[in-house]
Amino acid sequence: MEILTDLIRSWFGPDKMSDQAVFITVASTMATIMFIVMALCALIFTWAERKVAGFIQSRYGPMRTGRWHGWAQAVADMLKILGKEDIIPAEANRFFFSFAPILVLLGSLLAWAAIPWSPGFVSADLDLGLFYIFAVSSLVIVGLLMAGWSSNNKWALYGAARGAAQMISYEIPLALACIPVVMYTGSLNTTDIVIAQQGGMLNWFVFRNPFLFVAFIMYFIASIAETNRGPFDMPETESELVAGYHTEYTGMRFAFFFLSEYANLFLVSLIAAMVFLGGWWAPIPGLDFAPALTFIIKGVLMVLLNMWVRWTLPRVRVDQLMHLCWKVMIPISLICVVGAGIWMMLSGQAGA
Amino acid sequence: MEQKAIYELLAGKIGAAALGFNDEGVESYAEVAPEKIAEAALFLRDEEQLGFNQLMCLSGIDWDGFDENGKGKSVAILGYSADGKPETSDRVGEGDLGVAYSLYSHEKKHKFTMRVRVSRERAVVPTVIDVWSTAGWHEREAWDLLGIRFEGHPDLRRMLLEEDWVGHPLRKDYQMPGQWEQVPLEGKDMTASPFTPTSTPTTGPTPGAEG
Amino acid sequence: MATEETKMNSGWADQDQVPGIKSELMELNMGPQHPATHGVLRLLLETDGEIVYKVTPVLGYLHRCAEKIAEGINYKQWVIYTDRFDYLAPMCCNHAYVTAVEKLMDVEVPERAEHLRVVAAELSRIASHLIALATFGLDMGAWTPLLYCFREREVILDLLERIAGGRMLYNYMVPGGVRYDVPDERWVSDVLEFITMLETKKIKDYNQLLSYNKIFIGRLGNVAVISKQDAFDYGCTGPVLRGSGVKFDCRKDDPYSVYHKFDFDVPVGMGEMGTVGDCWDRYMVRVREIEEACKIVRQALDSLPGGSCQAIELKKPVKVPAGAAYSRTESAKGEMGHYIISDGGQTPFRNKVRSPSFCNLQVIEKVGVGQMVSDLVAFVGSLDIVLGEIDR
């Protein structure tokens, strides 16, 4: 952020621009970069998902477009989807129908602001960073409900109702799992959380104590549910609800949902890397020559883990899903919070 | 148990409604009066020695033009004229309609076949849905395709055809409508051999194609 | 008014007592275009949230009136229509029809032809069961087994193509025999090799990946239980009946063809993961039937006799003496029956087809009530229906 500010100031001369103008320029530049990164990673991950699925299912996946392992397939698909007719069902509520995809995309886009890519490089270095991320990503639920209801399609309504119930429920274990880390750090600032994990793999929060390890697993499971991916893909459930809340969407609007799904996927993986897996720090101290790259690699590995789970397991039923959340994961997460606290007290790390 | 013995047990129960037993062909069958079929079915299922707990098959039959020599074939549509109109024989169907019940007992491992015949004018047979639930769909199918009305069936709607279809296709005197809901139905001449080319086209131009 | 009753019993009607709130059941159209209905089946549901209160199947989207066509063409020509009933196991349908015609004709079929028929039908059965596992897994959200099962099915299609000439619709059996003999000796060894691979490796894979998966069991155990009584009452046959714990198989209990010569078991549902007759039992019966089918194929090929494989010359039309008979065989989905009435001519006077899926599906009207929508999907999947033979 500071680097960019300095850059702009030096470009235009120190006194030519007011502070507000500089801020707006910097913010919009960052937003554009974030959006492009997000769109790009959605593009790459759709291709990667198909290759991973192909690998698991003993087939190749896309092989033709762009010669090398069909790398251009995702680009071609994206171009195709942008050229599709935009259909709004006759009986749909037009305002909500058109607004919902934007809201969904906004929810996942906003959260990216607080991700610390490398030391000093974070779009919004908020004191309540982690809290902010969880808060804005809840916007997705509103968009999802809007989409399902306004489509005037019963299957979409089912998908939206299921999705809202699921995402609201799983926010709780998701946030609870992060609380022990916040207790250790004593801060919600995302940069502080990463800095607290300096000094090799053993200082990463996931390996600090057994409760944190359990909390990491809770976080991982909840994050799958939060991104609506298998085995918790209740809002979509292709075989039951046709396509769930986005049944009626076409073209660009559908692309927004699609984009947001993959952006969310990468986002939760990055948060996992940031909160539990040491952020930009390399596993061995002294190898931190490319912090941003290290961070992204960790995120990508988490995404691949997510894909592995998705293509292996069958889907749970909606009541089993809620049972898992309220009767299993929330109690365990609470125990983790208490346990990690006691561990901190006993090992003399409290108040650090 | 022997089929003949089963028939005798059945005849003992329903008396004169057991019209006869035929074991000349490949498969023997009992002829039962339609009014008593539900009673006969219940007896066959619940009688301890019989225990026919599975209705394997319920087939509706149109006996119109049946002739043991294979000569009495009756096809309502003789062919299609050049303008696509079906040439029909105008023959009004005669002969009875019938239903055949093929039963099997899982405990006793024996089979039995019952047949009923009803007149074309009053094709009504009591339902056996209370005895075997599987009869529900079979009877609906027989009603749909052959127009045999099953008295007492709680849900006797068409099964395979559209709700508003006219006629019962498996009847021998059924004539295919030229169109249904403005959709032209292109019939194919089923009497001609598919291997010998005919001079007349089997399907004519669709109505309104010239305009 | 079954719906009213279920409403009252489940406490659903209580919601109507809340002043100012009027609630009603939601009508939901599942199909005819729906991924879980395995074709063009339409289920008209009445639901309250996730709970289904009434299921009304609407059929006929694939109706071709094959029975009427049968009355217009001769016995041999109609074999191709049987291919299109259960298009996932066409050989079984071929077999059912030719068995019925031969029963009326009272013709002696050469042993070699019978053996080849059994091999073809059992391979078809394996293919059909593989699809059943695959699509069932897909209904449950497991994508990967789908591809695995299709991979193995592909081999079967190739093998059947080599003997019958077609990949999906074979028209292989004719009254009095089969159309073609074994193409070459390699075919037999290839089949045996495939069977061995399936038995030793692949079924183990499926079991590890899907059958004993904890989520999968959680989805299927105790779900949509068909009691023995219901199964008899609704005329369920095949894996659905056996899943309910009834040891009945036409191949054993009402033998046809040369099945009496072979040694195989009839797997039944045992309620290992819940109640006898739940979805998992029906699923597992199919997995075990693949193994049994493998056994039969091996025995049939090992004892393949020599000689001709047609009793009637292929080009000669078949004439069936007057009479009527119901004949049934065990197709992949259950009891495939034909009630043929012949008037002594070259075409049947009446040919009624009793298809297993038609009868199996009917039970959904009873068992489907009170299920969740997701369980209904599991239930339809576990019935393993094929619309081609339901609508005929």
Per-residue model confidence as pLDDT tens digits over C265-300:
899 888 888 888 888 999 999 999 999 999 999 999
Gap between the Cα atoms of A167 and A268, Å rounded: 13
Interchain CB distance below 8 Å, C215 and A316 = yes
**Contacts of residue C65 in chain B, CB cutoff 8 Å?**
145, 160, 169-170
- What values do phi and psi take at C98, rounded to 5? -65, -35
Shortest alpha-carbon distance between residue A322 and chain C (Å): 13
Asked if B touches A (at least 3 Cβ pairs < 8 angstroms), the answer reads no
Asked whether the predicted pLDDT for residue B76 surpasses 60, the reply is no
CB nearest C216 (choices: A240, A311, A314): A314
Contacts of B100 in chain C (CB under 8 A): 324, 326, 339, 352
Assigned CATH class of B3-122: alpha beta
Alpha-helix residue ranges (DSSP H) falling in chain C: 2-9, 66-70, 79-83, 90-105, 111-139, 144-164, 185-197, 203-206, 214-220, 228-233, 239-243, 250-253, 279-302, 356-362, 364-367, 373-383, 387-391
The answer to whether C73 contacts chain B (CB < 8 Å) is: yes
Q: What is the pLDDT of residues C47-57, one digit of tens each?
A: 887 888 888 88
Domain positions in chain C are 4-58, 66-376
Q: Which CATH number fits domain C66-376: 1.20.140.90, 2.50.20.10, 3.40.50.720, 1.10.645.10?
A: 1.10.645.10
* Percent of chain A at pLDDT exceeding 90: 6
Under the banding of pLDDT at 50, 70 and 90, the label for residue C5 is: low
Which residues in chain A have their CB less than 8 angstroms from residue C375's CB?
317
Least confident of A180-194, B121-135, B192-206, C223-237: B192-206
Least confident of A228-237, C164-173, C211-220, C257-266: A228-237
| B and C touching (3 or more beta-carbon pairs closer than 8 Å) | yes
- Cα dihedral sign, A220-A222-A227-A228: positive
Chain B hits for C354, Cβ within 8 Å: 56-57, 59, 102
Regarding predicted confidence, which is higher, B165 or B77? B165
Provide, as residue numbers in chain C, all residues whose Cβ is less than 8 Å from the Cβ of A237.
141, 374
Give the pLDDT of residue C128. 92
- What average pLDDT does range C106-114 have in this prediction? 87
pLDDT at C72: 76
Residue range C72-79: mean pLDDT, rounded: 83
C133–chain B nearest CA distance, Å: 26
- Mean of all residue pLDDT scores within chain A: 84
Say how many CB pairs under 8 Å bridge A and C. 77
Q: What is the mean pLDDT of residues A296-301?
A: 89
How many Å apart are CA B190 and CA B192, to the nearest integer?
Answer: 6
Q: What is the pLDDT, as a whole number, of residue B208?
A: 43
Q: How far apart are CA A352 and CA A343, in angstroms?
A: 13
| Residue C7 pLDDT | 52
> C317 CB near a chain B CB, below 8 Å?
no
Whether residue B81 has pLDDT greater than 70: no
Tell me which amino acid residue A226 is: E
Instruction: Give the pLDDT confidence score for residue C180 in this predicted structure.
Output: 86
Which residues does C385 contact at the CB level (< 8 Å), separation at least 6?
A: C38, C39, C41, C333, C357, C360, C361
- Average pLDDT for C336-361: 86
Every domain of chain A and the residues it spans: 1-83, 84-347
Contact check, Cβ <8 Å, C219/A320: yes
Q: Are C331 and C239 a contacting pair, CB within 8 Å?
A: no
What is the average pLDDT across C211-216? 88
| CA separation for the pair A304, B8 (Å, rounded) | 73
- Residues 101 through 130 of chain B touching chain C, CB cutoff 8 Å: 102, 106, 109, 111, 113
Closest Cβ–Cβ partner in B29, B56, B70 for C343: B70
Q: What is the mean pLDDT of chain B?
A: 76
Please report the pLDDT score of residue C285 as a whole number. Answer: 92
Return mean pLDDT, chain C.
85
Q: From A156, which residue of chain C is nearest by alpha-carbon distance?
A: C28
pLDDT at residue A254 tops 80: yes
Best C34, C373, C377 member to test A by mutation, with max A CBs in 10 Å, is C373
Q: Which residue has the tokens 């001369």?
A: A13
Facing residue for C253 by CB, picked from B26, B109, B170: B109
Flag if A154 and C26 touch (Cβ within 8 Å): yes
- Asked whether the beta carbons of A103 and A142 are under 8 A apart, the reply is yes
C29 contacts in chain A (CB < 8 Å): 154
Of A11-15, A309-313, C148-152, minimum mean pLDDT range:
A11-15
C132 Cα to chain B: minimum distance (Å): 23
Rounded-to-integer distance, Cα A335 and Cα A211, Å: 8
Q: Report whether pLDDT(B89) > 70.
A: no
B29 touching C (Cβ < 8 Å)? yes
